Amino acid sequence: MAEGEGVTFKDDLVLDDVYQLSPNLTRKALTYEKCDGTAFIVADDTEIGTPGNQLYLDCTITLMGPDSTTYEALVWVEVEGDEAAEVYLMPLATLRAEYDYRLVGADRETAAAKFGDVACVRFARGTNITLASGAQIPIEDLKVGDRVLTRDAGPQQIRWIGNTTLRAVGDYAPVVITAGALFNTRDLVLSPDHRLFIYQREDRIGAGRSEVLVKVRHLINGTTVYQQRGGFVDYFQILFDDHQIIYAEGIAAETLLVDARTRAALPDDVSATDHLDTSHQAFEVTESLANRPDVVALLKRASSS
C-alpha cells in the first residue's frame, strides 16, 4: 500500500496490501458508555477519541505475518456528525512493530461475534467446579442440567456449556493464579477478563466496600499470577439463567454475563436474553485501584483478616 496510509473501513480496504505498525505506536484504551442500536458511544474516561461521538464496529480483518501466521483484528470507526472522524485497530493477538502484515481477509459478518467473544469469561480445561453437593469435578465433566453451588442463589442448574480451543495469544492468552495465591487449592487458569469475587474483611485496597470483583489481568505480577502465552488453550464457558458467582478451585469466580456485547458470541441455538440481575457489576474494581505490585498479597490478607 502507499506509504502513510492506515487501516480504513472495509469498503476501502484492498486485499494483499501490506501494513506495518509504527515503532512509536502505543496501545490506548478506547472506552464506551452504552450501546445505542448498532452504535456505541465514546465514554468520558476514554484515552483516545472524542467523548460523545458514535463508535461503530466495522469489520474483522485477517493479517498474515512474515512467518505465514494469521492474526485477526477489529476495525472501529468513530463518527462525528455525518463524517468519519477516526479509524481504530483492535488487535486480537499481539502485532509487532516494523513487521510486514499482509491483508488476506475482511469480513463484516463476524465482527460482532469476535468482539463479544473477547468479553466472554472462560475457565481452562481441568478447573475443578464445586457442585451443589459440595463435590468438585473438572469443568469438562459438567453437563447441562447439573446443579452447581453459587454464592448468592444456592444450587443452580447449568443452562449451557461452551467449549472452544484457541491460540494462547493476545486477549486469549490465559492467566494463571498459582495454587494458594488467593487461597485457591490448585492453579486456577482463566481468561484475562475473568473476574474473581473477593470478600474483604478489611478494605486493604481502598475500594470503599467489602465485596469486590477483580479482573485477573489486573492481578498479574509475574510470580504468583502470570499470563501463559503460546500454544493453545482449551476453554469452557458456563451459562446460568442469571449471572452467578461459583467456586472454581475453591475460590469465587464469575460465570458468563449475557449482555448486548456477549450475546453476539453465543451459538444460534442458545436462546439467551440479557441477564437482568447485574448487581454484581457494582463490585468491580478499576484497573487504577488494582494497579499495584502487592495487590494479590493485599487481597489475600484482606480476605483472611
What 3-state class would DSSP assign to 42? strand
Looking at the structure, give the CATH architecture of the domain made up of residues 120-304: Beta Complex (2.170)
The predicted structure's pLDDT at residue 14: 93
State the Rg of the chain over Cα.
Answer: 20
- Of 173, 190, 186, give the one whose Cα is nearest residue 232: 173
Q: What whole-number distance in Å separates Cα of residue 72 and Cα of residue 64?
A: 9
Q: Across residues 117-123, what is the average pLDDT?
A: 90
Q: How sure is the predictor about 232, in pLDDT bands with cuts at 50, 70 and 90?
A: very high
Q: Across residues 87-109, what is the average pLDDT?
A: 91
Long-range contact pairs involving 197-202 (C-beta distance under 8 Å, separation at least 24): 197/151, 197/245, 197/252, 197/253, 197/254, 197/280, 197/283, 198/252, 198/299, 198/302, 198/303, 199/252, 199/303, 200/299, 200/302, 200/303, 200/305, 201/302, 201/303, 201/304, 201/305, 202/301, 202/302, 202/305
Least confident of 108-117, 154-163, 232-241: 108-117
Percent of the chain with pLDDT over 70: 94
Whole-model pTM? 0.83
What 3-state class would DSSP assign to 79? strand
Q: How many CB atoms lie within 10 A of CB 160?
A: 16
The predicted structure's pLDDT at residue 53: 92
Task: Write out the H or E segment, with its range, that includes residue 167.
Answer: strand 160-167
pLDDT reading at 277 higher than 70:
no
Q: Across residues 122-132, what is the average pLDDT?
A: 98
Q: What whole-number distance in Å separates Cα of residue 28 and Cα of residue 288?
A: 14
Q: Residue holding cell 470483583?
A: 213
> Where exactly are the structural domains of the chain?
10-109, 120-304
The predicted structure's pLDDT at residue 27: 79
The predicted structure's pLDDT at residue 3: 39
Quote the mean pLDDT of the chain: 90
Q: What whole-number distance in Å separates Cα of residue 26 and Cα of residue 232?
A: 27
Q: How sure is the predictor about 278, in pLDDT bands with cuts at 50, 70 and 90?
A: low
Q: Across residues 246-270, what is the average pLDDT?
A: 88
What 3-state class would DSSP assign to 290? helix
The predicted structure's pLDDT at residue 305: 67
CA distances from 274 to 213, 229, 253, 278 (A): 20, 32, 20, 10
Q: What whole-number distance in Å separates Cα of residue 160 and Cα of residue 240?
A: 7
Highest mean pLDDT among 86-95, 105-114, 183-192, 264-273: 183-192
The predicted structure's pLDDT at residue 37: 61
Question: What sign has the CA pseudo-torsion 30, 263, 168, 123?
Answer: positive
Query: Pick the residue with more confidence: 194 or 260?
Result: 194
Q: What whole-number distance in Å separates Cα of residue 64 and Cα of residue 102?
A: 5
Least confident of 80-84, 257-261, 270-274: 270-274
Least confident of 78-82, 102-106, 176-180, 253-257: 78-82
Q: How sure is the predictor about 35, in pLDDT bands with cuts at 50, 70 and 90?
A: low
Query: Pick the residue with more confidence: 98 or 244?
Result: 244
pLDDT reading at 4 higher than 50:
no
End-to-end CA distance of the chain: 60
Query: Pick the residue with more confidence: 267 or 134?
Result: 134
The predicted structure's pLDDT at residue 238: 96
Q: What whole-number distance in Å separates Cα of residue 84 and Cα of residue 295?
A: 41
